Structure 1
Amino acid sequence: MGAAPRDAAAVARLHEFLRYDPETGCLFWRKKPSKRVVVGAPAGFPTATGHLRIEIAGHRYWTHHIAWLFVHGVWPSDIVDHINGRPDDNRIANLRIADSSKNMQNSRIYCTNTSGFKGVSFCKQTGKWRAAITKNTRRVHLGRYPSPELAHAAYVRAAGRMLGEFARVA
């Protein structure tokens, strides 16, 4: 994964090799860490999750962590969350610190979801649509409804109340 630089020399090496543009969220190579790199070219390669990663001197770093370091002067203390849910959008305005629970609250709808709405599933026993939300690993049931739209409306209300700025309803 993207380990934190262990010392000031490692942080200085990142500054030596990279330049960050906070408006676009892109990192660019200042100096060649290998023969394959072109100075001035965008830095980072996409992983399976869509996040961008950089390797310098055998160390791998997430580009959103480097962006945080370059702007705030410290390595992030926890998870760096992408506000808009796009893991390749590393504009500083799109990044915020979050714990694991808050990061999960900001996740998109799961691909296994069959209702088409976040927080909504079908209850076979009652033939109704069940709304539920999770906060701090605790699942809160919000009731059963005759339609997925009504169940989702209950989820949206609860998300705004319980999750605040980290609520993602779609």
Structure 2
Amino acid sequence: MQTNQITLAEARPSDHASFKEELQAAFAVAVIDEFGDLPDGPIPSDEVLDGALNARNAEVLHILCDGRKVGGAVLTINAETHRNSLDLFFLKVGEEGRGLGIKAWEAIERRHPETVSWQTHTPYFEKRNIHFYVNKCGFKIIQFFNKYYSDPNHPGGQDDLPGDTDAFQFEKVMTPSRSVLAALE
């Protein structure tokens, strides 16, 4: 009997190749839905993913449902400010639409109860993500990057994405528990 229990497990460097393939397959679905085809090469590019997976303070996680890999996440954890970011988040193709994403996000929040705020981003065309972050997870849109206002972290846009460079930046301000507040003082 499946319980749809979500847990998180740290990915090992030896897992990175399959992690990237699964993430790229999941991201390809939205790109194909919006643009009809993939540009040359995977989305995000191997170079972009290698940078994220090997970044300072990166935490690469498998999302498990009843012990079976169903997705992944890459977090950047700032142990000093507790202002963390969700850099990449995906469910494997065929695993979406069953409430696993919100359970996975809640597991990430439980994993880092000291977090003051979370930030993430998504391309403008990715309406599923916008719905998920705002309506399901409680993020607020804090910036809209476009030709008039570029992302300072990607001044030339996200070159590996098709279409324009429009994207949203989201933030979720957490309400820390009393014990977390005391530890931060």
* TM-score, normalised via structure 2 length: 0.24
Higher normalized contact order (CA 8 Å, seq sep 6+, divided by chain length): 2
Structure of larger gyration radius: 1
Structure having the larger proportion of residues in helix: 2
